[in-house]
Amino acid sequence: MIIEKKVAETIAKYKLLKKTDKVVVALSGGKDSTSVLYILKKLGYDVEGLMIDLYLGQWSETHKENMLRICSEMSVPLTIVDLKEELGQGICFIKAVLKKQKNLTGCTVCGIIKRWILNKWAKKLGADKIVTGHNLDDEAQNVLMNFLKGNVLLGVNSSPATGGKEVKGFAQRVKPLFFCAENDIRAYAKKMKFDILYDKCPCSFETYRADTRDWLDNISDGEKLAIVENFQKLVPGLRRENVREMKVCGKCGEPASSELCNACKIFACL
């Protein structure tokens, strides 16, 4: 199948994974992460699932039930991290506080917290690599949003593989679906009859991304691929000229670009 072939090609071309790696797949419960978990297992990788219960009501409950069932059917171990046990609050409350205190909106807060938890737990699980389900449409949106914000440097880490052993404290994150269009992944998940939710997250109100996504819906998947591939040609040059020294967060010990990591800056508001 075309998606499976593309994933195998991306892994080989960018040397994303080895068969000896312990691969932790970040599962949201949606079509992208479910598909990538299934494909990697089928390709013979040593995979296990890592999910965060964000406490988004019935939506989270259904995702959890689905992932427990699917992982059990695939004989894949699954760890579910409870956000309330980790941080004392569900994600909507945290987002509301940050909106009020710092005017931080959209999925930024959730994204920072999820990355922090994934990195911490992937290391706890002894992962060599963390796989995420980011797809071609996500990447095209990022390129365009950064460009429209006038800050293409925000995409300096854009790549099928980010972080890595050379970046102290980061479990390397890899994106095998980097060149796979969302439409193709949805079609694949439906063809494979994955019994999951295909709706969008009820807490997603990042209007800038939604507007960008709507705009990109007017162009073909081939044009989205051109946006992503052309930006990839610029990335090595951007990296050479913008080397950022990574530090260790003074509070939690996770990687940070300043004295405190972004997650600890958020926790300080709660």
Based on the shown chain and the rule CB under 5 A, indicate whether residue 252 belongs to the binding site for Zn ion: yes
Binds 143, which of Zn ion, ligand SF4, none (CB < 5 to 8 A, cut-off by type)? Answer: none
Q: Which residues contact 245 (CB under 8 A, 6 or more apart)?
A: none
* Distance in Å, CB of 111 to ligand SF4, minimum: 5
Count the Cβ atoms, other than its own, within 10 Å of residue 66: 18
* Distance in Å, CB of 218 to ligand SF4, minimum: 22
Count the Cβ atoms, other than its own, within 10 Å of residue 37: 27
Using the rule CB under 5 A, which residue among 249, 255, 265, 266 binds Zn ion? 249
Nearer to ligand SF4, 101 or 204 (CB): 204
* Distance in Å, CB of 201 to ligand SF4, minimum: 3
* Distance in Å, CB of 232 to Zn ion, minimum: 30
Residues that bind ligand SF4 (CB under 6 A): 54, 107, 110-111, 201, 203-204
Per-residue contact flags (x/-) with Zn ion for residues 207 to 246, judged by CB under 5 A: ----------------------------------------
| Residue entry with tokens 């967060």 | 249
Distance separating alpha carbons of residues 110 and 253, to the nearest angstrom? 20
Piece of 3-11, 134-142, 148-156, 261-269 that binds Zn ion (CB under 5 A): 261-269
Count the Cβ atoms, other than its own, within 10 Å of residue 238: 15
Binds 111, which of Zn ion, ligand SF4, none (CB < 5 to 8 A, cut-off by type)? Answer: ligand SF4
* Distance in Å, CB of 252 to Zn ion, minimum: 3
The alpha carbon of residue 208 and the mean position of all alpha carbons in its chain are separated, in whole angstroms, by: 18
Q: Are 174 and 130 in contact (CB under 8 A)?
A: yes
Distance separating alpha carbons of residues 38 and 26, to the nearest angstrom? 12
Give the Å distances, CA to CA, from 264 to 53, 88, 196, 205.
20, 14, 33, 23
Report residue 79: phi and psi, to 5°: -110, 130
Report residue 34: phi and psi, to 5°: -65, -45
* Distance in Å, CB of 11 to ligand SF4, minimum: 25
Binds 249, which of ligand SF4, Zn ion, none (CB < 5 to 8 A, cut-off by type)? Answer: Zn ion
Interacting residues toward Zn ion by CB under 5 A: 249, 251-252, 254, 261, 264
